[in-house]
Structure 1
Amino acid sequence: MALAGRTKCALLLGVSVVVLGVVSAQVARAQAVETVQAAKPKKKRAAAPQAVFPEPVRNANAQIGRQTTQALDEITVTASKSPERAIDALAPVSVMTLQQIQGRQASTVGALVYNMPGVWLQDRGDEPSTSINIRGLQDFGRVAVVVDGARQNYQRTGHFANGSFFLNPELIGGIDITRGPTANIYGSGAIGGVASFRTKDIQDVLRPGETWGVDVNSMFGSNTARAMSSAFGGVRINPNVDFFAGGTYSTQENYRDGSGVTVSNTGNKLSSGLAKLTVRPADGHEVKLGTVFQEDLYSVGQPARPAGLPNSAGGALSTGTSVYATNVKNYTTTLGWTYSQPDDKLIDWDAKIYWNRTENDQTKISHNGVFSAAPTPFPSNCTPLRVAGNNITGCIGDQRSYRIDTFGFDVHNTSRFEFGDWRNAITYGGDGFRDDVSTADQNGNSNVTTPGGQRTVTGAFVQWKGNYTSLLEVVGALRYDSYELSSARNSTSGDRLSPKITIGFLPTSIVTPYLSYAEGYRAPSITESLISGGHTATSIGAGDTARCADGSRGYFCFIPNTGLRPEVGKNKEIGINLKKNDLIVAGDGLRGKFNLYQNDVEDYIDYNLFTCPPGSGNTGLCYQYQNITGGARIRGFEAEVMYDANSWFVGVSGSAQEGKRVQTGVGLLNIPSQKITTTAGVRLLDNTVILSGMWTNVKANTDLPAGTIPATSYNLVNLYATVRPTKDISVQFSVENLLNQYYRPYAIPGPDPGTGLAQNDVLWASAGSGIVFKGGLKYHFGG
């Protein structure tokens, strides 16, 4: 079946490229005698005079012989929905360009963003999904993740992060991340921040003057075998119509961690494709229809390990977990309409509707839990005489599934005017989404731990951005949010107004200090509010001491909490933007952003395990998501600095943070380690050879809840080389984890409250890959 799927994907990709090439050639021939006018870029008026910087180069193919620009000179929209350069934004923003993405040869999204300050990943090697942690906040939508403007709200409760998304890194054309609730107008729930990913589009492939073009890319790597191939192409049918399409296929086998131990089920087969049609029906108007499809085939779970393996728990803790053959499909469709004219100050319009679906179908293929010889502990169709299993995960051969459909919209407009010495921009609009969650489990407990239901979240906002001559910039915003959750058993709702105010001084000078206060509002998720029922024990009589009100029994009872209050993040921040050209030599540039922050999260939500209260209908232990008394406080420092002298560059980024429960002083589980990343490189032979290296030094956070296994401290060194022998060919090499270090990037939760055993599947699967050598070839053709 996997081979058939691979053949189908390869055939589809090949046919797409051939058809695209034929169509493109015909269009190019038909227009050979004409001068084809490139589509007009969308123009935005700056709010204030700015220093002169090199224009950002969007197309990585156009870098040969040209001065490159720093990522902080690229455009960001996540901070305020108003396009501005990241270095000028009065917010903690990091941007990653297409050129940087292509130089990394990344196999995961995490490999692209791990060096950004304040950004961390909680990923498992046996899961190709990504879970982003920003400033110690993750799970249940605390970080708003959007792909082409579409929210990614997938969540499955287990021994893993409670919130992840699937995105093939080869599809990505740009990354824009804002840290903290300063981006509250971007969408509901983002008390941790916003991570926005743009997939590739026609401007990433076509060079100036081309009417069609195709990029073909391939990569091979070691540890053990891994490979990737992709093809993306576009055609300008006429100045007002563009079509772009492409696809990827990648595969890898189980990798070895830095200690030389093979991490089971870290192999996968990933395929994806996208298509975009852009139409400009009138001057200033642009309508874009885009669709992305991804399919990920892999097995998740860790079988039992022999005791004594390096870096394993060893001894009695060598028990593994059930293993599931997994097929994940992700669909994203967006329809957007923008309007902008340089002489129209009242209307600068951006509207989008979208649909996103993630469906995860799993079949249990291996059982490593507790096994009893008695027939009674097992479901009726799962006995010791047939196949192994238990009441938590069911029997070998059983199926389970998770599906979430998200429907949403985002509409906003910016009006600009002058009043005396003030230049003003007012942005106003609304957004909303609805999650439909469904879960099915043939004999296991997953439909209890991840309950189905519906969540509807809507919001509206208004933001004023004013510049007083070149002395002052003020950004004030007010956002209204409301939500409603419902399941077969319970429902809850709520709403709130959240303000934001930022004041920056000397916005066009070399050094721009600013102060900011912003509030964010996160509605409880379906799981947090509506989870209900017993966490089934492995077998009847084997630890099922809890009796639940609904008649179920198990280790403990999940208790819904319809009175759960939403979280409110109140972030205080001091920032400094630093920009200077011609500092040491002509044409060089220094860019830097520094941030000191404190985020007080009122009504912070966390799980609590306690003795069931009398009269509740439950006996034994109860498990409930609750607002912790006093909330949580997270504070830290971030820095991102880069000096670029054209022929060479060097930069440092880093972050340190701490997070505690205010009342008890106990550290929060998801506060990441401290890290400092040093980047340095040279550009040779008119930018046709680029050599660089990245060294990330990590100090593990040990201020954690009792019983937690801290992350490891480590040094991660990566080397990169890009060589362009011709303008159409690019050869790339990289070495990841040069020191071949064993490392686990995040802490592992303490013993399972039911079994008393450590979560070994997380402990083993969280280890990163050992040393990896990669090589790739990219070819461009067009006309």
Structure 2
Amino acid sequence: MCVSKATIFNEINERAANVVHIACLLAAIVAADGASRAFAQASPGSGLVQVQGDDAAAPRNFNIPAQPLGLALNVFGRQSGLQVTLSAATSRGLTSNAVNGSFTPEQALSLMLQNTGVAFRVTADRTAVIGATTSPATEVYVPGATQLDPLVISGGRNAISGAGYQGTPDWVYETPAAVSVISREAIENSPTRNARDLLDNVAGVYANRSEAQNPGISVNIRGLQDQDRIATMIDGARQSFQRSAHGATQRTYVDTAFIRAVDIEKSTTSGVGSAGALGGSVNFRTLLAEDLIAPGKQYGGQVNLTTGTNQFNFDGSTAAAVRLSDRFSVLGGISYKNIGAYDVGKNGTINSAATYAGDVLLFSGQEVRSSILKTEAQVTEDVKLTLGWVRNDSRFNTGNYDFAGSQGNLQKATEDVVNNTYTSALDWKPGSELIDLKARFYYNNIRNNKVEEGSVLSAGPSNYVMGTLGGSVENTSRFDTAVGALALNYGMEAFSDDGKTVLTRGYVANGIDYSNTLSGGTPSGKRDIVSGFGSAKYTPTDWLTVSGGLRYDWYHLDGSTTIYGNEITPIIGYRVTPPSCFPSPPFPPNTGCRPGTRTPIYGTPYYERFNVDVDKSGGALLPTMTVAVKPVDWLQPFVKYSKSYRPPTIMESFLNGGHGGPSINGYAPNPYLRPERGDTYELGSNILRNGIFSERDTFRFKIVGFYREITDYISFGYIYNSTAQRQYDSYVNLDGVTRMKGLEIEGNYDARVVYIGGTLTRIDTELADSFTSPAGRSIPINSGRGAAVIFEQPKLRVTLDAGVRLFDEQLTLGGRITDVSKTEPVLGSLRTGYEMAGYRVYDIYGSYAFNPMTKLRFAVTNLTDVAYAPALGANFFAAPGRTATISLNYKF
């Protein structure tokens, strides 16, 4: 064997902070206690490294001069598009070979390491490990070879952490587009009451909190949110649930326990995920077996436990995965979160006593149970099948006092939301460069049960359901031409939304059942969207990339709804009074008699009912174009144009009923509603540099400026229904053009001992704010019609994050400052309540790694205990006051 047991134990004591190194040494201990092992003999550097990921097998141009091995591997990571990590201390004194020319990543790595005396191998979970041998079946032994700390290479967009801001993977800073990732590192380091808190530090992105008592997530990107303007997904499965409210309407229910990363696109693409979206997408990706099982092991898992002050009672989860064979793995996990109603900050004022009991925000707690089950099967060498199920059960209350300051008339709703997401994925990647096929099929079902108390709506809607069935198929073909590399991506995606709202108790007035009118704000209906797309990526040289694409989106809305006209009081008969004469006095003489009368008898008042059938479809061609250049290896400026198209949703298309209480004839669908259309222009640049001041420091930077125009923006106004001969509140297309422009910056410098990073979001919005009335007049949307809110992001938000790592990086201490300007939304008749002052919040955090498997984390949010309402919320829903949390993470 290579080393003795005593040497191994000494090495463990000396390098306790190096997680991967210890894992490899422990594996060697197990091997030492077992039978003797047969090693395959090979010359140094002769092992074939099979690196996988997006475009991992495609040849590309490499220009890596001979240099210290650590630096060379950093350059290799940038030029190959793969994630590379290395402990620099153990690579000092080694020099790489020069690599120049067109090679696959594995060929380039083999050439670079040739004759260096470094052994490397391939693991079953699609990573390359250099300098470690933990699996007898794949081990490569090189006599006299230097045993380095493990170097793990993982591919492309599969990487979930890196050297960027809050652990953002490097591919973000190599992609010529406005993309961001919330890494697993950021998720673990930030205990949250709700998954929406993760979005607070992403440039250009907010989570709307205007319905803060509801834990559902409504994502706002560059001022666009709700009604599927932002495609929100869990493992690629659409989350189309909508429920009417004065604030946010679209909600996604997902827990942080099983999220491996959150991918964010801030504009649309000519690929999977953009069908029917206007302003981008958010995909919550869940754990894979490789996230839990260390290389060379057959099983692994983790336990996370968090508790804290200010009613942060408990947040715990466990997940584990096992490889039943080289080709089959199973992953499962459960989580439980119990958060109570919190105190708001003491330093400042709150605006509405109706939502507070003392300093406590009413009904701001939640109880969440989540689970995950996933299987991954390598069916053949070329085909992989993944099946997944994620369940989220959120229980919470909503409500307020009927009048400000009245402590005796509490309106309360008890709600339970169960979200089940079922996914399947088939990946086929044979040896041919013409085939890299990905097929996805999913079904998402979300059910919201609601029971109201102390309100006229107690007999109202109690069950909201949205089912979404969808899938996609795409293929990428790659070619080497005489004039450069060409990649073609083409395919289609489709999904169908089926919304149903059901009452468990009816609403009857004067003997007539008007139950369906109370569900009209969140109506039932169906919507189908189908999209075909194709794009080409052309790389004539290593400094120029040109890509363009075209997609065609088609939609169909089908169903019927009911509206009610004016109140009618029927005449069911008449009461007849006969003529009568009165006696005549002697003088003057009698001049006649009074005539008889016929008086109508009125029946019970009722509202005339009208059925409205909806059968509408349409489509649009949507081009995209991107040009990126690399004047130097570390700099990538780019420009991008994309056209987007959002069809009306079920809520917008089937609206009916009234605004709560006995009102039943306030709303009606607009049969002439047009889809929204957007044009987005982006100019940006990526910077990715390593080894600036030392061998280990890194700098990551992305800046994007954008300008967007939207026509036919949909908001609230009114229409006239000629059949019912009545005017109704309805969704309408706004006149003119809505314009949004802004700047987004994300950056991070990491010297290991110290780091500093942050984001900046600057946005200006010029909203179309009028619509054409049925009489042909231009009506401002703030004229008192309706209650729809158009949320504008604050003009400026700056986040600064810095910290230090001490004691061989076992201890991390950091702090964060977030400064947000005031919020000023545009809306109908409810402007008061959604305008909020700016605020500044301070947070501190830290962690201590007892050993590679155990880490303790702590955090204090809202350190100065300021009372404030988060941006894109409501000023009667303040954020939590000072909250301290402590978390324990154990991996096995």
TM-score w.r.t. the length of structure 2 is: 0.71
| Alpha-carbon shift at residue 588 of structure 1 (Å) | 1.3
Q: 1:394 aligns with which of 454, 458, 473?
A: 458
Equivalence for 2:23: none
Q: Could you tell me how far 1:691 is from its partner in structure 2?
A: 1.9
The residue aligned with 2:119 is none
Find the aligned partners of 2:309 and 2:518 in 1 and give their Cα distance: 36
Provide the residue aligned with 2:308 in structure 1. Answer: 221
Pairing partner for 2:412 from 314, 319, 323 = 323
Q: Deviation string for 1:629-678 (max 9, x for gaps)?
A: 11311111111111111222111211111222347699983121120010
CA distance in 1, matches of 2:50, 2:500: 43
Q: Which moved more, 1:414-423 or 1:581-590?
A: 581-590
- Is the CA contact (8 Å cut-off) linking 2:716 and 2:781 kept in structure 1? no
Q: Which residue of 1 aligns with 2:683?
A: 574
Contact 2:203 2:746 in 1 (8 A): yes
Q: Which residue of 2 aligns with 1:334?
A: 423
Note if contact 1:156-1:162 (Cα within 8 Å) is conserved in structure 2. yes
Cα separation, 2, equivalents of 1:229 and 1:254: 18
Once structures 1 and 2 are overlaid, which stretch shifts more, 713-722 or 83-92?
83-92
Q: Does 1:277 align with 2:375?
A: yes
C-alpha change, 1:656 and 1:284, in structure 2 (3 Å) is same
Q: Could you tell me which of 529, 532, 546 is aligned with 2:656?
A: 532
Q: Partners of 1:104 and 1:362 in 2: how far apart?
A: 31
- The 3-state SS of whatever aligns with 1:102 is helix
Q: Which runs of 5+ in 1 are unaligned?
A: 1-27, 78-82, 308-314, 368-388, 545-551, 749-761
8 Å contact kept, 1:228–1:251: yes
- 8 Å contact 1:73–1:87 — kept in the other structure? no
Q: Residues 56 and 126 of structure 1: is their aligned pair in 2 closer, same or farther, counting only changes over 3 Å?
A: farther
| Range that drifts further, 179-188 or 589-598 | 179-188
Contact 2:846 2:859 in 1 (8 A): yes
Amino acid of the residue matched to residue 298 of structure 2?
T
SS for the counterpart of 1:743 is: coil
- Cα distance in 1 for residues equivalent to 2:242 and 2:404: 32
- Contact 1:74/1:85 (CA < 8 Å) preserved in 2? no
1:44 is displaced (CA, Å) by: 2.8
Match of 1:355 among 426, 438, 443: 443
Is 1:411 paired with 2:473? Answer: yes
Once the two structures are superposed, residues 69-112 of structure 1 have per-residue CA deviations (whole angstroms, 9 ceiling, x without a partner) of: 999997599xxxxx991111110111122122111122212221
Greater displacement, 489-498 / 708-717: 708-717
CA contact (8 A) 1:506 1:512 kept: yes
Aligned position for 1:643: 749
Match 2:805 to one of 649, 663, 683: 683
Tell me the distance in 2 between the aligned counterparts of 1:218 and 1:38.
38
Q: Please say if 1:303 is aligned against 2:392.
A: no
Aligned-CA RMSD value: 3.3
In structure 1, distance between residues paired with 2:251 and 2:695 = 45
Of 471, 480, 483, which residue of structure 2 is paired with 1:421? 483
Matches within 5 A, 1:118-133: 118-123=204-209, 124-133=211-220
Distance change >3 Å, CA 477–CA 320, structure 1 → 2: farther
Give the letter for the 2:693 counterpart: I
Indicate whether 1:438 and 2:497 are aligned. no
Task: For residue 560 of structure 1, give the secondary structure of its aligned residue in structure 2.
Answer: coil
Aligned to 2:229: 142
Deviation at 1:181, TM superposition (A): 2.5
Task: Please tell me the residue identity of whatever aligns with 1:722.
Answer: S
Q: Equivalent residue for 2:791?
A: 670
Inter-partner Cα distance in structure 2 for 1:174 and 1:469: 32
Tell me the CA shift for residue 695 of structure 1.
1.1
C-alpha displacement of 1:274: 0.5
Q: Structure 1's 225 and 504: CA in aligned 2 closer, same or farther, altered over 3 A? A: closer
Matched residue, 1:374: none
CA contact (8 A) 1:76 1:84 kept: no
* Cα displacement string for residues 446-486 of structure 1 (whole angstroms, at most 9, x for unaligned residues): 41111101111110100101112123111100001101112
2:724 aligned partner: 617
Between 1 and 2, higher relative CO (CA 8 Å, sep ≥ 6) is seen in: 1
> Does structure 1 residue 52 correspond to structure 2 residue 158?
no
Q: Is the 8 A contact 1:565 1:627 kept in 2?
A: yes
In structure 2, the residue matched to 1:559 is 668
Residues 723-770 of structure 1, C-alpha deviation per residue, up to 9 Å, x if partnerless?
A: 11112211111111112112212356xxxxxxxxxxxxx543x32111
Aligned to 1:267: 365
- Measured at CA, do residues 44 and 508 of structure 1 come closer, stay the same or move farther in structure 2, by a change above 3 Å? farther
1:98 and 2:184 are equivalent in the alignment: yes
Q: CA deviation at 1:237?
A: 0.8
Q: Are 2:818 and 1:696 equivalent residues in the alignment?
A: yes
Q: Distance in 2 between matches of 1:529 and 1:498?
A: 23
User: 2:699, 2:473 → 1: CA distance?
Assistant: 36
What amino acid is aligned across from residue 656 of structure 2 in structure 1? S
Secondary structure of the equivalent of 2:790? coil
Which segment is superposed worse, 729-738 or 31-40?
A: 31-40
Kept after mapping to 2: 8 A contact 1:357/1:405? yes
**Alignment CA distance shift 1:461-1:183 (3 Å):** closer
Letter matched to residue 710 of structure 1: E
Q: Return the alpha-carbon distance in structure 1 between the equivalents of residues 404 and 649 of structure 2.
A: 39
In the alignment, is residue 767 of structure 1 matched against residue 878 of structure 2?
yes
Residue-by-residue CA offset, 1:470-521 (whole Å, 9 max, x unaligned) = 2311110000110111222322111111000111122763222111110011
Task: Tell me if the contact between 1:502 and 1:515 (Cα under 8 Å) persists in the aligned partners.
Answer: yes
Q: Supply the distance in 1 between the matched residues of 2:707 and 2:154 (Cα, whole angstroms).
A: 28
Which secondary structure state, in structure 2, belongs to the residue aligned with residue 558 of structure 1? coil
1:462 counterpart residue number: 534
Q: Which residue of 2 aligns with 1:715?
A: 840
Q: State the distance in 1 between where 2:192 and 2:499 align.
A: 31
Give the partner amino acid of 1:360: N
Say if 1:89 and 1:164 are closer, same or farther in 2 by CA, change over 3 A: same
Cα deviation for residue 184 of structure 1 reads: 6.2
1:625 CA drift (Å): 0.8
Q: 1:737 aligns with which of 862, 870, 874?
A: 862
CA distance in 2, matches of 1:53, 1:40: 12
Could you tell me which runs of 5 or more consecutive residues in structure 2 were left unpaired when the two chains were aligned.
Answer: 1-29, 40-47, 63-74, 86-124, 130-148, 162-168, 347-357, 508-514, 561-612, 771-779, 783-788
Deviations 1:564-600 (A, max 9, x none): 1111110011111112222222221111111111111
How much does 1:134 deviate? 0.3
CA distance in 2, matches of 1:157, 1:616: 26
Alignment of structure 1 residues 516-531 onto 2, 5 Å? 516-531=640-655
| AA of the residue aligned to 2:55 | K
1:81-230 aligned within 5 A:
85-123=171-209, 124-182=211-269, 185-230=272-317
Distance 2:743 2:817 in 1: 19
Q: Following the alignment from structure 1 to structure 2, what is the Cα–Cα distance between the partners of residues 44 and 35?
A: 35
Which residue identity is paired with 1:217?
N
CA 1:355–1:129 in structure 2 vs 1: closer, same or farther (change >3 Å)? same
| One-letter amino acid of the structure 2 residue matched with residue 484 of structure 1 | H
Kindly tell me the number of residue pairs found equivalent between the two proteins: 676
Question: What residue number does 1:778 align with?
Answer: 889
Determine if contact 1:94/1:176 at 8 Å carries over to the other structure. Answer: yes
TM superposition shift of 1:432: 0.5
Assess if the C-alpha contact under 8 Å between 1:666 and 1:703 holds in 2: no
Q: Give 1:285 shift.
A: 1.4
1:145–1:271 distance in 2 versus 1, CA, 3 Å: same
Superposition deviation, residue 618 in structure 1: 4.4
- Conservation of the 8 A alpha-carbon contact between 2:757 and 2:801: yes
* SS of the residue 2:361 aligns to: coil
* Distance (whole Å) between structure 1 residues aligned to residue 464 and residue 539 of structure 2: 49
Counterpart CA distance in 1 for 2:51 and 2:751 is 31
**Aligned residue type for 2:255:** N
Aligned-residue sequence identity (percent) comes to 26
Cα distance in 2 for residues equivalent to 1:268 and 1:102: 20
Name the CA shift for 1:75/1:200 in 2 (closer, same or farther; >3 Å): closer
**Distance (whole Å) between structure 1 residues aligned to residue 549 and residue 377 of structure 2:** 33
